[in-house]
Every structure is written in C-alpha cells, then in structure tokens.
Amino acid sequence: MQKRVTLLILLAVIASGCAYTNAGDAEELKDLASKTDQTQYNVKYNFTVQGTALLGQTSEDAELFSYNGDTRFDRETVYAQGNTTTSIYNMNGSRALRCTESNYLGNRSSQSECNVTNATVSRYIDGTEYSNPEYSVNYVREERYAGRKCKLYRIGLPPSEFENSSVINTGAIVDLCLDREKGYVAYNSMNLTRPVTSGGEAVSNIYTLEAQSYSSDVSREQVRLPEFNRTEGNSTGT
C-alpha cells in the first residue's frame, strides 16, 4: 500500500512539473547495477524507437556484450535508403569508440569506419545512470525477461533532463528492469509525461529496449577495441 501511495505521489509531482525528489530507492538501484562490473553476459534485445518523428529512424535489434565492465553495444538502424549497424565500445572516461557499417540499397554499396567519439549508450544499458539524486526512483515489482528475473524501477526525469532539446519540453518516466543476479538492463522504456508533436505526430514513447535472450558465453575478445585510424568524432548518440 505504501509503494502504491508513493507511486501516485510521484506521478502527481511529474504531471505538475514540480521539483523532483529522490524517493529512496536510488542506492538500491545503484548497488544492483554495480554488479555488471564483475560479470560476463551477452544479451540480445528487441529495440524499438517509436518516436520516429523525432529521430527519423527505427531500430529492430540490439545486442550487448559485457566482460567485467567492458562493453560493446550493437544496434541495427533501418533507414529508407538502407541500414547501419553501429557498435559502441567503451573506453576510459567519457569517450567511446564508435564503429559503423552501412549498407545502401540500389547500388549495393557499403561503408565502414571507426571513430573516437563522445557518443555513449549509458542511457540504454547502464543502470547507475538513473541513480542520480535529482531523479525520483521507486522500486515497483519483480518482472521476467529472457527467462530471467529482474527488479523493475520507475524513475522520474525532470524537464531539465532535456534542456538541450529543441523539441522536448517536458519530463519523462523511465521503466528500468535490472537482472537480479547480473545487474544488467533487461528492460528500459522512456515515456514523456506529456506528448510532444513532431512531424505532425504526437510522440510519447521515445524508445523501448527489451531483452529477448541471455547467455553467459562471452569473451574478452568480443569487447576488445578494434584497430582503427584515430580521429575525433562529434556524435552524441547512437
């Protein structure tokens, strides 16, 4: 009953646009997410980007490789003119290595490259990203994805989270389910508290990432940085 009341208060606060306060479960979420630094796993996801009017693209599949905290996140993006597979390898600090392989329709051409970039995938795969004391964090219940149990948290993001966006002027709710044993993100869905209109469409859901299968069979080679010509990229997302 207490959890239900807390959730109702959270939703009321978000809807009103008032200040966000941490509801007390952020440390629990952070501790669970920290398990990912000492384990290995390979997770395949269904990845939908329903806010296509905002992003101009759709995603169908994603895959996460993790070996003792080193990660590689692959995402397939489908465009009208072809498709691109983007792999983000983690590096020390805030930077990452972004490798892309694009295949274009019609002339059957392809292109591949790797760049050092500011792009990360932390909003998708790093549970500690949501333990920020400025967010409201509530444990909701236990769920099951890819045949494994996870703990579902509901996180309220303030409008200031999107202060650099020219389209989004509201807060958001993130439903985040972390695997109980490994701490990895099994489910992650972001929904705006108020729909925004873009391209003539009302957009509420920004993305949904849902684990479809899990394996512990992963090696350090799968997360090792590939050889590349070192250049500085300026991409901020994937």
HSE-up (13 A, CA, CB side) for residue 159: 16
Distances in whole angstroms, Cα of residue 205 to Cα of each of 34, 54, 75, 114, 197? 27, 11, 18, 30, 12
- Helix, coil or strand: residue 141: strand
Instruction: Find which of 25-39, 51-65, 96-110, 162-176 is predicted with most confidence, using mean pLDDT.
Output: 25-39
- How far apart are alpha carbons 216 and 212 in whole angstroms? 14
Question: Does residue 80 register a pLDDT over 90?
Answer: no
Higher model confidence: residue 218 or residue 238? 218
Question: Does residue 164 register a pLDDT over 60?
Answer: yes
pLDDT at 57: 56
Reported confidence tier of residue 148, pLDDT bands at 50, 70, 90: very high
Higher model confidence: residue 213 or residue 11? 213
* Backbone region of residue 108 per phi and psi (left: phi > 0; alpha: psi in -120 to 50; beta: other values): left
Six token digits for residue 86: 């983007």
pLDDT at 29: 93
The sheet carrying 110-117 orders its strands as: 110-117, 96-104, 82-90, 70-79, 58-67, 40-48, 201-215, 185-198, 172-179, 148-157, 136-145
Mean predicted confidence (pLDDT) in 199-203: 74
- Give the CATH number, domain containing residue 190: 2.50.20
pLDDT at 208: 92
Q: Render 160-192 in DSSP notation, one character per residue.
A: GGGTT-SS--S-EEEEEEEETTT--EEEEEEEE
The whole domain housing 10 covers: 2-216
- Residue 207 inside a domain? The answer is yes
- Residue 32 inside a domain? The answer is yes
- Residue 228 inside a domain? The answer is no
User: What would you measure as the largest C-alpha separation in the chain, in angstroms?
Assistant: 61
- Helix, coil or strand: residue 124: helix
- How far apart are alpha carbons 180 and 113 in whole angstroms? 36
- Residue 230 inside a domain? The answer is no
Q: How many domains does the chain have?
A: 1
pLDDT at 84: 83
Question: Does residue 2 register a pLDDT over 50?
Answer: no
pLDDT at 108: 62
pLDDT at 31: 93
- Residue 231 inside a domain? The answer is no
Contacts of 155 by beta carbon, 8 Å cutoff, 6+ apart: 130, 135, 136, 137, 138, 173, 174, 175, 176
Question: Does residue 72 register a pLDDT over 90?
Answer: yes
pLDDT at 77: 80
Mean predicted confidence (pLDDT) in 145-167: 87
- Residue 165 inside a domain? The answer is yes
pLDDT, tens digit (0-9, with 9 covering 90-100), for 165-181? 767 778 889 999 999 99
- Residue 175 inside a domain? The answer is yes
For the chain, report the end-to-end CA distance as a whole number of angstroms: 40
